[in-house]
Structure formats: structure tokens, C-alpha cells
Amino acid sequence: MTERIVLAYSGGLDTSVAIGWIGEATGAEVIAVAVDVGQGGESLETIRQRALGCGAVEAYVADASDEFANEYCVPTLKANALYQGHYPLVSAISRPVIVKHLVKAAREFGATTVAHGCTGKGNDQVRFEVGIQTLGPDLKCIAPVRDLALTRDKAIAFAEEKGLPIETTKKNPYSIDQNVWGRAVETGYLEDIWNAPTKDIYDYTATPEFPPAPDEVTISFEAGVPVAIDGVKVTPLQAIKELNRRAGAQGVGRIDVVEDRLVGIKSREIYEAPGAMALITAHKHLEDITIEREQARFKATVGQRWAELVYDGQWFSPLKRSLDAFIEDTQRYVSGDIRMVLHGGQAIVNGRRSETSLYDFDLATYDTGDTFDQSMARGFIELWGMSAKVASGRDIRVAGK
């Protein structure tokens, strides 16, 4: 029986050429696997037909938009996950769901190997292959660009020689990856980190310099999950899409950062994540009134570690699973409404309410009705500063000798 290889297929030039390139290099049959994670653009059927036209013996296509929103975006939101304080893990959280379908397709079609289109110096090769090793430890992995010398100029020449049904004459200077959680742009002109981004690289966001009128929105959460916008019930996917539209129109969610890649190099990245950043901002403000102080402090540490694990391709790791359990426990009372104004590139919270809030007006007020017993403060301060006071006395005593 001829060996079969499943290929993570985007429908673009590189992965379209990879179908035939892999076949010629290995003698194997190629099954193209396309997964819709809300990236927009062409229909899955169009992509399926292109894969078959480029030589795939089978084409597995999956609409995973709701799955991606529910099982990958929502946990990221609950963690308030921002890698290095900036990046909302746009590409990093899409790889595990793609891996899941790659392994599923490999089982369904009897493939022994999984292929992806990543280079040898990026993060995604790690995310794909570690995920595949975890879910399908018997499967082998290859990367045509990294392992089979498939460069872009060779891809263009191969496509023209074979008459493949794919556009080869226009070369986008940027590398772009997108899904419903956001959009990532790198390479080309952006590799000089002194260069400012040009307007043409943006798609999910309008320029914030000349915004429309301020847009006030109320986002409702239940146990950390967005469930309504302006009182209208929504699914997580609908919430992200609606805020992509509304926050994007105000230029919210543009991120320009030099980040530390897993392989040890620094990389300049431009991200657009209007819905993600608006939701994370709202969620964090709701946590501020519903999560106890020490729990909140520790959750910030957990969220940072969670983001690092996911960025580094460890979505299926035991530690990630344990951190998930902690984060999920913290979300028990994260229910209520957040009102925010979207305008000029900013999402500014101006109202909060929750039936499970820890904010006590009578304790917080300085006006009549204050129930806080101020006489407790003096003794508290004495005890709180005791260890520092004793250490300071020791320092003075020793220094005087």
C-alpha cells in the first residue's frame, strides 16, 4: 500500500505546491487538511477543490470556528493571556486545533506522516510537531520548507511548470496569519525595527487617528465567558466577531512588538486583535471586582506562565492542564456586566456591575454611611510593619559598631 501523508493546507502558494513537491520527493500520496478557524477569505469548498486540483488524493476540510472560539479562545480569555504582556496568542492558540484535525485525518485516511509548511526558525514548527507527538506519538512529521528544500522561488517555478490552479505572479512582501482571534503580520519591510508599519498592512482595524463617534458597548459574562453584548445573547464566536467589527472600526487592538521566539531569536511582529483585546480588557476589569485579592495576584502569575506554555507549543502538556484547572476555579464568580467606550484606538472601561462583586460600597465610601472601623488601622499598621522595623533596628545597631 502506498504511504500516505496528511498536509496542513492553507490554500496558498506554498502549501499548494507542497502537495506535488512532497509526492515527488517521497512517493507518498498526499491528503490535504484545511481547517477553518475564522480566518475568512475563500470558502472551504473552494480550498478543497484547489487541493484536489493540485494533486491531493483526498481533501479533509473542517469548519472549526465555533470549536476554536469555545475551546481555545475562551480559555485564553479566562487566563487574560498576553505573551510578554502584549501578544494575545493569535497564531499560538490556532495550532492545537489544527493539530487535532491533522491527527484525526491521519487516522481516518491511514496516513503515517503529518506535514506542515513551517520554516526551521519559527515557533509554529514546534507547536505543530509537539502537538502531533502528543496526540499521535506514532506519527512522523516533515516540513517541506525545512526538510525538502522548498523555497518560495522554487514554489513559483514548480507551480508554473505544473500549471497548478494557484496565483504565482504576485508576491506579498509580508507573512500573514489570521483567524477570528486576530491577525499576525511579519517579515519584509517590518524586519527593520526602525520602520513604522505602513497603512496597507492592516485589515482588521481602521486607522485610529480619525475615528468615528465613540461607541459604548456593554459586555456580559457568565463564569468568565462572554454571553451577551448590549443585552443580546451571543456565542463566544459571535462575541469575538461583533467586537472585531466594532472595536476594529475604532482602531482598537493594534500591537507592534519585538518578541522573544522560542528558538532564541527576537522577531518584530505586528498584530491586530480588536475583539480579543476588547474582551480581555473587559474580562480583567470584571475579575477586579469578583476575585479575592490574593487569588487575583496569584492568577496573574499563573496567566503569565500559561501564556508562555501556549506560546512555546505546550498546549497539551500536563502543566498547562493543571494551570487550566486553577484558572477555571477562579472563574466561578466572574459574572456580570462591563460597560466600555471604544474610541480612537482605546477600549476604556467606565462601568462595572455584578451580583457576585466583592466591592462593598459601605466599606469603600468616605461619606455618611461608612461602615469601616478606622480604629482597626493603627494596630494593623504596627503588625504589618513589625518585621521591617525589627530588621531596620538591627541594621542601625550593627552599623554603629
Q: Is 271 annotated as a binding residue?
A: yes
Q: Is 14 annotated as a binding residue?
A: yes
Rounded Cα distance between 273 and 240, Å, is 10
β-strands 58-63, 29-36 pairing: parallel
CA angle, corner 230, sides to 300 and 184, nearest 5? Answer: 50
Residues 229, 239 contacting (CB under 8 angstroms): yes
339 forms bridges with which residues in the sheet?
Answer: 218, 351
192 a catalytic residue: no
Q: Which of 14, 36, 246, 352 is catalytic?
A: 14
Q: Which of 4, 95, 183, 352 is catalytic?
A: 95
Amino acid, res. 42: E
Q: Is 124 annotated as a binding residue?
A: yes
Q: Is 395 annotated as a binding residue?
A: no
Q: Which of 63, 146, 175, 337 is catalytic?
A: 175
Q: Is 83 annotated as a binding residue?
A: no
Residue with cell 498546549: 315
394 a catalytic residue: no
Q: Is 317 annotated as a binding residue?
A: no
36 a catalytic residue: no
Rounded Cα distance between 20 and 177, Å, is 23
Longest dimension (CA), the chain: 89
Q: Is 352 annotated as a binding residue?
A: no
Rounded Cα distance between 70 and 227, Å, is 12
Please give the full DSSP string across 179-192, using - where no structure is assigned.
ETTEEEEESGGGGS
Q: Is 175 annotated as a binding residue?
A: yes
225 forms bridges with which residues in the sheet?
Answer: 222
Q: Is 26 annotated as a binding residue?
A: no
Q: Which of 36, 124, 220, 312 is catalytic?
A: 124
Q: Is 87 annotated as a binding residue?
A: yes
Q: Is 153 annotated as a binding residue?
A: no
Q: Is 15 annotated as a binding residue?
A: yes
138 a catalytic residue: no
Active site residues: 14, 95, 124, 175
List, as residue ranges, the binding site for L-citrulline: 87, 123, 127, 175, 259, 271
List, as residue ranges, the binding site for L-aspartate: 119, 123-124
List, as residue ranges, the binding site: 8-16, 87, 117, 119, 123-124, 127, 175, 259, 271
List, as residue ranges, the binding site for ATP: 8-16, 117
